[in-house]
Copies of this chain bind each other. A is one copy, B any other.
Amino acid sequence: MQFELTKDFIDRLTDIIDRQDSKAAISILDELHSADIAEIYNELNIEQAKFLFLLLDNEKASDVLAEIEEDDREEFLHALPSEVIASHFLEEMDSDDAADVLGDLPEGKKEEVLSHIKDAEQAGDIADLLSYDEDTAGGLMAKELVSVKEEWDVSLCIEELRKQAEDVDEIYNVYVVDEHDRLKGLLPLKKLIISKPDVKVFSISEEVISVTTDIDSEDVANIMRKYDLVVLPVVDTDGKLVGRITIDDIVDVIQEEAEKDYQMASGIVQDVEYSDNIVTQMRGRLPLLLIGLFGGVLGALVLGYYEGDLIKYAGLALFIPLIMAMAGNVGIQASAIVVQGIASKSMGIVSVFSKLTRELWLAFLIGIICSGLIFAYNIIFSDSIALSLTVSIALFSVIIFTTLLGTVIPLMLNKMKIDPALATGPFITTLNDIIGLLLYLVLGRILLPLF
């Protein structure tokens, strides 16, 4: 039942496309889900994709277009005239998907495509959705929904549902509104089916959770996850029902957020996918590497400044890699825990002070264990007690200090409304490395002459 993309399949398909064999192509496409066809897109060039997609009926074509990755879609639409985009793809599309598609086009083409959409109401809905920020509830919502009035009875609702059902693909609930279209409640389809025809809507309507159009998409995701919602209605500032957000869009938001954080922790500063071209890849990867390079040069300067000590106390240089690795690792760990705590709100309402106390306790334990182990190693394998002590004391200090930094920085960033995940990124890591190195050399200069 599951479709699996194979090299054989693609070879067969491109062969059919090269022969321009519409009949064979259609019979293959008929068997496939739109999500599968979208997956095939990655393996074709634009001309091949164009041939294929124009064979689809409008409904399937619009489903496929909604599933293709943003960058690819932009490129693909570039190769199509505005009339075709409007008639073949957008007219059958849900308003939120249509707005997403249009949002990627250049301003001029956007207007042009909109003017070719025949259904004036749909064109208006799409234009309206385009006015919201992409990363808010308004930017995520679709206009398609079924609403009923509080004072109606069940049979009138069912009649209304019959009328509206054609425009709305997936219906799980109908929304209950008052005479001014203000959202009052929710009516699951199940209740509509099992209730008697003459029951009034307000007597079976349930409480409903909603958001306003300006709520951030991450907050929308948190609300839908927390309350296990499949659909979330969106209201304007007057409480009027203006749209609904479905969970599939939110799953994408969650996935993107997670990927962004993961990439940030891996030192990639821009959304990069494996399939992106070399220029995008470079844009994502180079910034950290340049910061790392700069950090490395700073490191060289610091070491150069302490060159005298490094020559005088042979052995001090040997543990530079150890100190730097530990400084980076300890700092990132502390930051990662805080970043996830902020994201999942599991940090609760304890004060910054108690967070710090706890982290420092942990750092103290970790420091004791790690510097204890290194001390044992050095005592056994090296002949210098002075060096052994210096390395261990420096390691302990570095662990405490970078934990402090790693805890405070994401909290500060969050307070300043900057994404705290930045703290696990390149800049802070490099900072930790250099500070760790400096701390080691300063302590070495102070401690080594003492022994």
Contacts and interface: CB of A to CB of B under 8 A. Distances in A.
Interface of A: 1-2, 5-7, 10, 33, 35, 39, 42-43, 69, 158, 161-162, 165, 170-172, 188-190, 192-194, 209-210, 223-230, 247-248, 250-252, 254-255, 258-259, 261-263, 265-268, 272-275, 278, 281-282, 285-286, 288-290, 292-293, 295-297, 299-300, 303-304, 307, 310-311, 314, 317-326, 328-330, 332-333, 335-338, 340-341, 344-349, 358, 361-362, 365-366, 369-370, 373-374, 377, 424, 426, 430, 433, 437
A296 B278 contact: no
Given A2-B223, A5-B349, A194-B162, A296 B321 contact: yes
A3 B407 CA distance: 28
A320 B321 contact: yes
Contacts of A273: 337, 340-341, 344, 346
Contact of A262 (B230, B261, B289, B362): B261
A269 to B, nearest CB: 10
A251 B247 contact: yes
The SS class assigned to the A binding surface is: helix
B322 A296 contact: yes
Contact of A161 (B193, B281, B336): B193
A10 B344 CA distance: 19
Given A266-B265, A362-B278, A288 B333 contact: yes
12 contacts: A1-B210, A5-B349, A42-B348, A192-B193, A263-B340, A292-B326, A295-B322, A297-B374, A299-B321, A300-B321, A303-B317, A325-B430
Contact of A370 (B293, B319, B337, B358): B293
Contacts of A254: 251, 254-255, 258
Nearest to A310: B317
Contact of A43 (B192, B322, B348): B348
B170 A268 contact: no
A383 to B, nearest CB: 13
B322 A293 contact: yes
Given A247-B230, A274-B340, A326-B292, A42 B346 contact: yes
Contacts of A328: 328
A229 to B, nearest CB: 8
A207 B252 CA distance: 24
Contacts of A266: 265, 332-333, 335-336, 424
B261 A426 contact: no
Closest 4 CB pairs of A and B: A296-B322, A274-B341, A258-B258, A299-B321
B373 A228 contact: no
Contacts of A162: 193-194
A285 B366 contact: yes
Looking at A2, A43, A293, A358, which has the most chain B CB atoms within 10 Å of its CB? A293
A161 B189 CA distance: 11
Nearest to A42: B348
Looking at A2, A258, A328, A336, which has the most chain B CB atoms within 10 Å of its CB? A336
B433 A325 contact: yes
A345 B323 CA distance: 38
Given A5-B348, A258-B259, A289-B329, 16 more contacts: A7-B349, A33-B209, A39-B345, A43-B348, A69-B346, A170-B230, A250-B251, A258-B262, A274-B347, A278-B361, A282-B366, A286-B369, A289-B370, A296-B319, A299-B322, A320-B320
